[in-house]
Amino acid sequence: MKPLKIFLPLLFAMIFGTSIPLQAQLFDSESDFTRQDTLRGSITPERAWWDVTYYHLSVKVDIADSAISGSNLIHYKVLEPHQKLQIDLQEPLEITKVIQGENDLTYTREGSAYFIELQDRQLSGEINELRVFYEGNPQVAVRPPWDGGFTWAHDGNGKPFVATSNQGIGASIWWPNKDHPYDEPDSMLISVNAPDTLMDVSNGRLLNVGEPGDGTKTWHWFVSNPINNYGVNINIGDYVHFGEEYEGEKGVLTLDYYVLRENEAKAREQFKQVKPMMDAFEYWFGPYPFYEDGYKLVEAPYLGMEHQSSVTYGNGYQNGYLGRDLSGSGWGLKFDFIIIHETGHEWFANNITYSDVADMWVHEGFTNYSENLYLDYHFGEQASSEYVRGIRAGIQNSSPLIGTYNVNNEGSGDMYNKGGNLLHTLRQVADNDSLWRETLRGLNQEFYHQTVSSKQVEEFISTKLGRDLEPFFDQYLRDIRIPILEYAFRDGRLMYRWGNTVQGFNIPVDVTINGDVHRLQPTTSMKNLQVESDGPFILTVDPDYYVASFNLLGK
């Protein structure tokens, strides 16, 4: 059985021995990126010299005018002396003032990048602070959460329902910050002022609520752990709250739910999935990474997003992805896709965060795979296997999973389904589920609360599995070709090799030959194996491997 469709050109190349024109020409070269992409996506000299340690973001949300105003107090450690500092904020919002100590600072602007001239001498090792004031009408999200900004909506009772979402487009779409993923504050305070008939829910824990006496309230939410910029969020609505406690690996974890008044009954039913989900994820990935900040599910006026410790939810209180099974296997309807997927990101996205968005597969590939492991934990290996094979239908293989570095460029959308399949294939390669589980848990320990590169993750897995996986990762992350097990039976021998691969590709693969299972160790050179049979040979590759096979002599 062939686990996937082989592209015709691949078949052609295999048969006629030509090589496929590789992807290089097909994809954007760096020259297609703009100066703004570089300012946003690289660690510029004006970013490199300081390490953000704390943000206090304070925002007043004026719902009537779809406007915001506020400030961000930034604490940073000086790594090397420098007098110019870059802060990002996207139009039409504008920075109106920057102060450091007594000084009102001057700045120049280049698109979304503001270059602030510091007057006090910056000395290595010092922790300094500055406050950036800003205001305006933020961009409205066109297709949240993918095309982010503010969503100004209303609930079924006509009350305002407002939220931010900004992955990809960047947190600087609504607040001024160092808008690059490599640097996270160690903690953050988020203060949101809104009408007192509503409530704001942001990340972390609610410290206190201020009542200035003008018909508004200010909710102060404190995040005691490092947080990625894109995870910071505002949700304002007529929320009701309920909660429960989970006895997890690190003790008691608070689970808090904020949902629209009209949806409370549905939410109380649907969110029963949270505890069993925590069982599955803690088993495979280790303790939930933010016990101190708690776990929240917060209803939002869009599908959902992995906002750290305040996962947003808009899946309509139904199983599947808006009621659909993305795998076509039936298993996708056994769970609420948004609860499971977005919470999986607490481990892969919020705990382990890409240091460049080009490596976004580390977020989406592992989180896609978390859906599979959730099924594995509750419904068994067959369920997880059918699910992961089902989602292959969505893989395009038209560009690599890894994007272009330093220009804020994401790789192919295949990072989800192909990423999940890559990891499921690796589980077969490991052929040892306790070692595989140790590897997944080990990643979350080794890179606890850190920003990382794909290479670091790849090297960690190679070390854990005791195998050089460089060609494997190059094949699935940096190339678009699917390995083909090429084989032929001749004179009682099976000849076999990997074709359509990068140099050195050498993962083992399980095959069944006339009913007997064999673990082959193919390389890109032809090997052979003595086999015996009275009749014709039939070989099938274990469909859990995301590879193809081709009988060089047969049909």
Q: Which residues bind Zn ion (CB under 5 A)?
A: 364, 367
Rg (CA), the chain: 26
Cβ distance to Zn ion smaller for residue 369 or 489: 369
With the C-alpha atoms ordered 165, 166, 168, 171, is the resulting torsion angle positive or negative?
negative
Cβ atoms 106, 117 nearer than 8 A: yes
We find the least distance from the C-beta atom of residue 350 to Zn ion, in angstroms, to be: 11
Pairwise CA distance, residues 418 & 547, whole Å: 11
We find the least distance from the C-beta atom of residue 145 to Zn ion, in angstroms, to be: 9
Cβ distance to Zn ion smaller for residue 70 or 145: 145
**Closest by CA position to 134, among listed 58, 219, 231:** 58
We find the least distance from the C-beta atom of residue 363 to Zn ion, in angstroms, to be: 6
We find the least distance from the C-beta atom of residue 382 to Zn ion, in angstroms, to be: 25
We find the least distance from the C-beta atom of residue 29 to Zn ion, in angstroms, to be: 28
Pairing of strands 103-104, 539-541: unpaired
> How far apart, in Å, are the Cα atoms of 309 and each of 60, 113, 170, 184?
22, 29, 19, 15
E-state strands within 286-371 = 295-299, 304-305, 311-313, 352-354
The DSSP element (H or E) to which 216 belongs, if any, is strand 216-223
We find the least distance from the C-beta atom of residue 345 to Zn ion, in angstroms, to be: 6
Pairwise CA distance, residues 371 & 332, whole Å: 9
- In one letter, which amino acid is 319? N
Cβ distance to Zn ion smaller for residue 345 or 464: 345
Cβ distance to Zn ion smaller for residue 364 or 414: 364
We find the least distance from the C-beta atom of residue 491 to Zn ion, in angstroms, to be: 51
We find the least distance from the C-beta atom of residue 341 to Zn ion, in angstroms, to be: 6
Cβ distance to Zn ion smaller for residue 173 or 362: 362
We find the least distance from the C-beta atom of residue 221 to Zn ion, in angstroms, to be: 23
Contacts of residue 54, defined as CB under 8 A and 6 or more positions apart, other chains included, come to: 73, 74, 75, 185, 186, 187, 188, 189
Cβ distance to Zn ion smaller for residue 282 or 364: 364
Pairwise CA distance, residues 289 & 396, whole Å: 33
Pairwise CA distance, residues 101 & 114, whole Å: 19
Cβ distance to Zn ion smaller for residue 93 or 171: 171
Pairwise CA distance, residues 378 & 376, whole Å: 6
Burial class (CB in 10 A: 0-12, 13-18, 19+), 99: middle
We find the least distance from the C-beta atom of residue 351 to Zn ion, in angstroms, to be: 14
We find the least distance from the C-beta atom of residue 236 to Zn ion, in angstroms, to be: 24
Cβ distance to Zn ion smaller for residue 118 or 311: 311
Cβ distance to Zn ion smaller for residue 364 or 544: 364
Pairwise CA distance, residues 514 & 539, whole Å: 7
Cβ atoms 337, 371 nearer than 8 A: yes
We find the least distance from the C-beta atom of residue 408 to Zn ion, in angstroms, to be: 18
Question: Where on the phi/psi map is residue 26: left (φ > 0), alpha (ψ -120 to 50), or beta?
Answer: alpha
Instruction: Report which DSSP code applies to 80.
Output: S
Cβ atoms 437, 429 nearer than 8 A: no
Cβ atoms 451, 363 nearer than 8 A: no
Other C-beta atoms lying within 10 Å of the C-beta of residue 252: 11
**Closest by CA position to 95, among listed 124, 127, 71, 111:** 71
We find the least distance from the C-beta atom of residue 338 to Zn ion, in angstroms, to be: 10
Q: Is 263 helix (H, G, I), strand (E, B) or coil?
A: helix
Cβ distance to Zn ion smaller for residue 364 or 486: 364
